[in-house]
């Protein structure tokens, strides 16, 4: 019940295209859903996050869509750039300080020039 | 911008040896975490720490592991007798008292030979 399932495992997108990564969860107690971006040799860095009181959140080229009834959320990267090439992890937790993050399996994104 | 710092960046040790991984969380944060990432796999929760005690731990965090905040600034992870399967990236994270936005350090790569 604690799992977060993420797909696809890898994704290749042309520069300027839209990258879409999907996640699904089971635990209805989760109420905080961050996305982390990780470059090789670096730690995960918070990219964008959403709470279930909204269905969409946009920050620049990054948008999270959230479907509470389906227990799914997704990351859209508009106008994808080669610099976006990284591994993306969705995560979920209860939105109280101190709660563990449960991570998805990760998606390795490559944006071709 | 404040950041979580971890030392060393790479630790090589012989099987059976003790290692201590060090972290300096962001100064006004009160919640601290250790996660690990085996090469090519997802980030896994190990332990969370608040008010000088463990608040939650995963099944990975067995008797070989311990955490400590020895001096009010450092947060350490000790592995008492390392095994080959302990080889991984170990990430420290911290967050503020409100919400659950966790900030990650760059990690320590532990190689057990």
Tokens of A48: 């964008």
Task: Report the Cα–Cα distance between both ends of chain A, in Å, rounded.
Answer: 40
pLDDT digits (tens, 9 = 90+) for A75-98: 999 999 999 999 999 999 987 777
Query: Of B96, B102, B105, B107, which to mutate for an interface test with A (greatest number of A Cβ within 10 Å)?
Result: B102
Cis peptide leading into A8, omega within 30 of 0? yes
Q: Do B48 and A98 touch (CB under 8 A)?
A: yes
| Mean pLDDT rounded to a whole number for chain A | 94
Residues B10-39, mean pLDDT to the nearest whole number: 95
Q: Which residues have CB under 8 Å from A38's CB, separation 6+?
A: A44, A45, A86, A87, A88, A89, A106
Whether the per-residue pLDDT at A1 is higher than 60: the answer is no
| Chain A positions touching chain B (beta carbons under 8 Å) | 32, 34, 36, 41-46, 49, 89, 91, 93-106
Tokens of A13: 């997108």
Q: Name B88's bridge partners.
A: B110
Q: Name B95's bridge partners.
A: B31
Nearest-CA distance from A48 to chain B in Å?
10
Query: Which of the four pLDDT bands, split at 50, 70 and 90, describes residue B73?
Result: confident
DSSP label at residue B106: -
The span from the CA of B74 to the CA of B4, in Å, is: 10
More confident residue, A53 or A13: A13
Nearest CA in chain B to A91: B43
Question: Using a CB-CB distance cutoff of 8 angstroms, which residues of chain B are in contact with residue A103?
Answer: 42-44
Q: Is B56 on the interface with A (CB under 8 A)?
A: yes
Q: Do A101 and B100 touch (CB under 8 A)?
A: yes
DSSP-derived secondary structure for chain A = ---EEEE-SEEEEETTS-EEEEEEE--TT--BEEEEEE-TTS--EEEEEE-TT-SEEEETTEEEEEETTTTEEEEEESS--GGG-EEEEEEEB-SSTTPPPEE---EEEEEE-
Nearest CA in chain A to B9: A41
Q: Do A96 and B33 touch (CB under 8 A)?
A: no
Residues B95-105, mean pLDDT to the nearest whole number: 87
Strand-strand pairing, B10-13 and B108-112: parallel
């Amino acid at each position: 019940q604690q799992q977060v399932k993420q797909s696809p495992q890898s994704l290749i997108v042309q520069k300027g295209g839209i990258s879409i990564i999907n996640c699904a969860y089971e635990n209805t107690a989760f109420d905080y859903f961050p996305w982390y971006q990780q470059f090789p040799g670096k730690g995960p860095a918070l990219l964008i996050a959403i709470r279930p009181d909204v269905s969409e959140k946009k920050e620049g080229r990054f948008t999270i869509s959230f479907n509470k009834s389906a227990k799914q959320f997704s990351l859209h990267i508009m106008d994808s750039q080669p610099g976006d090439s990284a591994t993306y992890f969705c995560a979920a937790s209860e939105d109280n300080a101190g709660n563990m993050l449960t991570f998805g399996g990760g998606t390795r994104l490559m944006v071709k020039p | 911008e404040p950041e979580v710092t971890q030392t060393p960046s790479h630790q090589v040790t012989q099987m059976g040896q003790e290692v201590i991984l060090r972290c300096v969380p962001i100064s006004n944060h009160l919640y601290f975490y250790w996660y690990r990432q085996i090469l090519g796999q997802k980030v896994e929760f190990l332990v969370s720490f608040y008010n000088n005690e463990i608040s939650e731990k995963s099944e990975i965090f067995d008797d070989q592991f311990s955490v400590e905040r020895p001096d009010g600034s450092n947060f350490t992870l000790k592995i008492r007798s390392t095994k080959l399967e302990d080889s991984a990236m170990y990430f420290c994270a911290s967050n503020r008292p409100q919400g659950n936005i966790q900030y990650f350090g760059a990690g320590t790569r532990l190689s057990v030979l």
